A = this chain, B = another copy of it.
């Protein structure tokens, strides 16, 4: 029996495993976490809208239902492509076929100061830290006598106008305006501030111009300051530095402006494309290694002249393709090149407000786009229980305008009783 090893239990690894399940292949999925993380909803954990565990589905619970699939918790440190062996921190695993689907990490473009002073929205533990930090900022502000310091504590700068930045900024504004302002009656609403910084001339670049304008209008209407053509140059304690020389005082900085290949890519001696992503052939294999597939964010493949984007759809289609291609190869059948089919894009901005661009032809904004966004994300969320719980949470949140998971986890509240040293935190929660 042939053995396939899948590195990473994100969207790509999951789809590859599913394609191989019950087909007479011995499959081992390796991940350094014991759960599949539904990253698109991380921003809702950060803004206290849903419980952290809803978007973390235990890998073994999922995989045990699929025949022939095993799981191992472990950190992959390298691959010996000649001997066909995956190296782990605590052992080695041989393979006949390999699917590398290790995903991505945050890219700071060399801005060490930004990495030290900002949060990202990539891992569950860092996102929970961000939630705690936001709530703690209000606690600190409520007993801060200095007006300038108080305003800085209540200022939130989000860098990056992609879906993650836009969705987080909108949801944070709802958290503040519907909940936190009521929680802290001694704070002045006008002291709170959310700024969304985007280096380019527009947010949500994958949407047509009309929809991008809609998104800016909506965000501004909610009170989020959208600042286009604004490049940042770094960060210091309590402030974001702008390339044009000025700065914005802020206790909380959230960086969503860059992604690169997961750290394991750098450890592999393979040709790379932009962002350290592994260059692959049209069939998602590595040149000269037809048994090694690379899918999702960690793979670099231009199609129609542009590299495939680092989004869930590409990973899912790539994972499924790799799983089926392995089956074809085992049976000695030829494999057609991978073709990504772009089903479209969407982004949610706030209550009753979203923008959908389906198949490049069906474009709509507002309430129905909002419903479509929620429905599609519920559909892709893994597990009956998680879907039920998130669905009910969303209903309660909608009807009561509440984002009620405003819990500062005890251990982190303590760390932050001294002002946050982001740098100390970073080393232990570095994604990759």
Contacts and interface: CB of A to CB of B under 8 A. Distances in A.
Nearest to A405: B53
A168 to B, nearest CB: 19
A289 interface: no
Contacts of A56: 407
Interface stretch (A113-121, A248-256, A279-287, A408-416): A408-416
Contacts of A209: none
Counting chain B CB atoms within 10 Å of each CB, the highest count among A124, A142, A385, A393 belongs to A385
Interface in A360-406: 383, 385, 388-389, 392-393, 396, 400, 402, 404-406
Contact of A406 (B34, B128, B183, B409): B34
A75 B128 CA distance: 22
Contacts of A179: 61
A138 B388 CA distance: 28
Contacts of A388: 392, 396
A291 B411 CA distance: 34
A123 interface: yes
A401 to B, nearest CB: 12
B417 A89 contact: yes
Interface string A89-118: 111000000000000000000000000000
A333 interface: no
A135 interface: yes
B33 A410 contact: yes
Contacts of A411: 125, 428-429
Contacts of A54: 51
Nearest to A411: B125
Contacts of A60: 183-184, 406
B183 A61 contact: yes
Contacts of A389: 51, 389, 392-393
A415 to B, nearest CB: 8
A383 B135 CA distance: 19
A414 to B, nearest CB: 7
Counting chain B CB atoms within 10 Å of each CB, the highest count among A389, A400, A409, A410 belongs to A410
Given A182-B64, A184-B60, A402-B385, A125 B409 contact: yes
B183 A58 contact: yes
Contact of A409 (B124, B396, B407): B124
A203 B72 CA distance: 39
Given A34-B406, A392-B389, A90 B58 contact: no
A128 B51 CA distance: 14
Interface string A6-50: 000000000000000000000000001111000000000000000
A36 to B, nearest CB: 10
Contacts of A90: 143
A185 interface: yes
Counting chain B CB atoms within 10 Å of each CB, the highest count among A35, A54, A75 belongs to A35
20 contacts: A32-B413, A34-B407, A34-B413, A35-B408, A51-B51, A51-B53, A51-B389, A52-B52, A56-B407, A58-B407, A60-B184, A61-B404, A61-B406, A64-B183, A72-B142, A75-B417, A91-B143, A388-B396, A389-B393, A414-B428
Given A35-B408, A125-B409, 20 more contacts: A33-B410, A34-B135, A34-B139, A34-B406, A51-B53, A58-B406, A58-B407, A61-B179, A61-B404, A64-B182, A64-B183, A72-B142, A89-B417, A123-B410, A124-B409, A385-B400, A385-B404, A388-B396, A389-B389, A414-B428
